[in-house]
Amino acid sequence: AQSVTQLGSHVSVSEGALVLLRCNYSSSVPPYLFWYVQYPNQGLQLLLKYTSAATLVKGINGFEAEFKKSETSFHLTKPSAHMSDAAEYFCAVSKGGSYIPTFGRGTSLIVHP
Amino acid sequence: DADVTQTPRNRITKTGKRIMLECSQTKGHDRMYWYRQDPGLGLRLIYYSFDVKDINKGEISDGYSVSRQAQAKFSLSLESAIPNQTALYFCATSDRPNGHEQFFGPGTRLTVL
């Protein structure tokens, strides 16, 4: 079975500050890992994905995530938050052959001026 | 130019009514999924289909049914709506060569009174 834990349902940062959204996973086999972003009144869109290539994955809008197998983590970071980053972020895991992802409960990123 | 469309975008209905939510895609993907999103619970899988003749239950299929009318169309029905089915519903697709990444529609907000 696979599962995803996102630590913190809400994260609040000031504009220009570091963004860190945490995701830990459990999977019996090497996983595929994803971060999706959901802007208000929209569907989810892919931010970045890890598929067993480089452990540091760069995504859109300046976000990146690092796969750490020893820590079973895939935390999302951005060096400098922008007001437009305010959204809901979802971490997801799936495993080879399944094609059925498991999503975390989401983290709402709040960016203060 | 939306690749995954959902109709209606918003719907208010009464307890006991039959409701159908429709999803169409122009991406040419084989795989389609229905999820519901509730605050604090993330996305939960209702049904999925890997091709026109393949229908599978997800995590929370009770009270729902689906129909895959064509490769491009996947409908979700609530046979007798109840208030705890009030939620945001998303359709998603994925393709065979890259089946782990999902592409989402804009969502349908359903309210059952």
Among the partner residues A32, A34, A100, nearest to B48 by beta-carbon distance: A100
- Reported as a pLDDT band with limits 50, 70 and 90, residue A53 is confident
Residue B52 pLDDT: 92
pLDDT at residue A27, rounded to an integer? 75
Q: What is the pLDDT of residue A69?
A: 87
What's the pLDDT score for residue B2?
A: 65
Is A66 exposed, middle or buried, given 0-12, 13-18 or 19+ CB atoms closer than 10 A?
Answer: middle
Number of A–B residue contacts, CB under 8 Å: 49
Give me the residue from A32, A100, A105 closest to B41, CB to CB: A105
Whole-angstrom distance, CA of residue A27 vs CA of residue B52:
29
| B87–A contact, CB cutoff 8 A | no
User: What percent of chain A stands above pLDDT 70?
Assistant: 97
Q: List pLDDT tens digits, range A57-87.
A: 999 999 999 999 889 999 999 999 999 999 9
User: Which residues on chain B are in Cβ contact (under 8 Å) with A103?
Assistant: 42-44
Measure in Å the smallest separation between the Cα of B59 and chain A Cα atoms: 10
Chain A residues touching residue B103 (CB < 8 angstroms): 46
Rounded CA-CA distance A16/A20 in Å is 13
Give the angle subtended at the CA of B29 by the CAs of B27 and B31, to the nearest 5°.
140
- Is a pLDDT exceeding 70 seen at residue A41? yes
Tell me the two tokens of residue A83. 């007001």
Contact A62, A5 (CB under 8 A): no
The identity of residue B39, as a single letter, is: P
Do A94 and B42 make contact, defined as CB atoms within 8 angstroms?
no
Residue B1: what pLDDT?
A: 57
Average confidence (pLDDT) over A29-38? 88
DSSP category for residue B85? G
pLDDT of residue B98: 67
pLDDT value of residue B20: 98
CA-based nearest distance B28→chain A, Å:
17
| pLDDT band at residue A2 under the 50/70/90 scheme | confident
Distance from CA of A73 to the nearest CA of B (A): 18
- For residue A100, the chain B residues in CB contact (below 8 A) are 45, 48, 58
Which residues in chain B are contacts of A42 at CB distance < 8 A? 106-107
pLDDT at A89: 97
pLDDT tens across the length of chain B (113 residues): 569 999 999 999 999 999 999 999 999 999 999 999 998 889 999 999 999 999 999 999 999 999 999 999 999 999 999 999 999 999 999 987 666 789 999 999 999 99
Given CB atoms, is B28 within the 8 Å cutoff of chain A? no
